[in-house]
Amino acid sequence: MKPSTETSTLTSATFEELVRETIVRLGEDPEREGLVRTPARVAKAMQFLVKGYHDDPAALLKNALFTVNYDEMVIVKDIEMFSLCEHHMLPFFGKVHVAYIPNGKVIGLSKIPRLIEAFSRRLQIQERLTTQIAETIQSAIEPQGVGVVIEARHLCMMMRGVEKQHSAAVTSSMLGCFRHGEETRTEFLSLIRQHTDVI
């Protein structure tokens, strides 16, 4: 089947041209003062918002693994997260809580937020994001277990559809002793709900 002229034109168009076309189809004038530079701004913003596609999450952790004799729970909580819903390309944002129990190796603490950034700065769904973070940590250091909880607000629910402004989605991924050990899982969930002031 031969592609239509319109399809062929859109396929070869630049990102900026596609944004300009979107503005026209929304019924606006792309030559209006406030919109003249919007295609370039949108293109630049989108490149930043999905920059995670250029990151290799496993490689981020590879150079930050340390051998230690420590087998208690390590928790990094309240990590800010921003992503784009792959269904509507609207933002969702919230906090990520990560815990693991080492089995001879630990991850440099600053690498956990970077790992989250690598996966969240893509077109995502919260459920997949949660699982990707947990499985990457599990694969990198083979700990006794990993727990990841994400609490997020989705603009696709808040601005459109059901328009529930105060709703939040909570997802979790529990591996190893976090999945099979109720006491470990309960301790993790209890600790991330505690308010702590870090000096």
Helices 111-120 & 126-141, crossing angle to 10 degrees?
140
Q: How many CA atoms lie within 13 A of 149 on its CB side?
A: 19
- Cα separation of 190 and 169, whole Å? 18
DSSP 8-class letter at 51: G
| Six token digits for residue 14 | 């630049």
The rounded distance, in Å, linking the Cα atoms of 128 and 143 is: 21
Give the C-alpha separation, 122 to 54, whole Å: 10
| Catalytically active residues, by annotation | 85-88, 126, 154, 156
Query: What SS3 state is found at 98?
Result: strand
Q: φ, ψ for residue 13 (rounded to 5)?
A: -75, 150
Helices (H) and strands (E) in the chain, counts: 9, 7
Q: What are the C-alpha distances in Å from 105 to residues 62, 68, 189?
A: 12, 6, 23
